[in-house]
Amino acid sequence: MAMREPSQAGTLRPPLFLTLSLARELGVLLCLSVMFPFLIHVIPVPETAKLGPRLLPMFYAPLLAVLWGRAPSAFGVAFLAPWLNWALTSHPAPHGAVMMTVELLAFVSALLALVERVGTRGFLAIPAYLSAMALAAVVAAIAPFLVDGRSALAWAAQTVATGIPGMAILILINELALRCRPPGGSGGGPAAA
């Protein structure tokens, strides 16, 4: 529960939810969340090969935000990035943006729960991603129109199988993030949750 802060005059004022620091951090992470997919989409590949679902670029910035102890920014990016990408590049389509938002919010939630339970480790991205896909499968079962009427389990299995290279990249980013800014160490990362 948010506590009210005393003001200069001694009266209570509501807490600030979007500070300048958080806004700046969110802006940088949103830029990364647009830049990563854009760069992946400009790589020349055959028309049938879609690299976004294979390399999972939308998960990179939320992963970094959580590992570096920036939970509010991670949730902000998870909620806003699919829609910002859709507004700027028309990818993903609105149904895909809904599913991507669900996946990213579940990913951030699972990752935060894992960090709280076991601390920051190099393997956390994979169980968080698989948890996110499990929740997305439940949402797809409830609203099959979001996955073009496909079976929720078949859709989730295909999405996970397609994303195996991206999961490897998530592990790499996870490990590099912890080496560059170790938790609680001189690297300025988060204290071990």
For 130-187, give the DSSP string.
HHHHHHHHHHHHH-GGGGTT--HHHHHHHHHHHTHHHHHHHHHHHHHHHHHS-TTSTT
Q: What are the mean pLDDT values of the chain's consecutive 10-residue runs (193 residues total)?
A: 51 61 83 82 70 90 91 93 90 91 97 92 91 97 94 96 95 90 54 42
Tokens of 130: 């698989």
Residue 17: per-residue pLDDT: 61
Residue 1: per-residue pLDDT: 45
CATH dotted code for 23-40+53-180? 1.10.1760.20
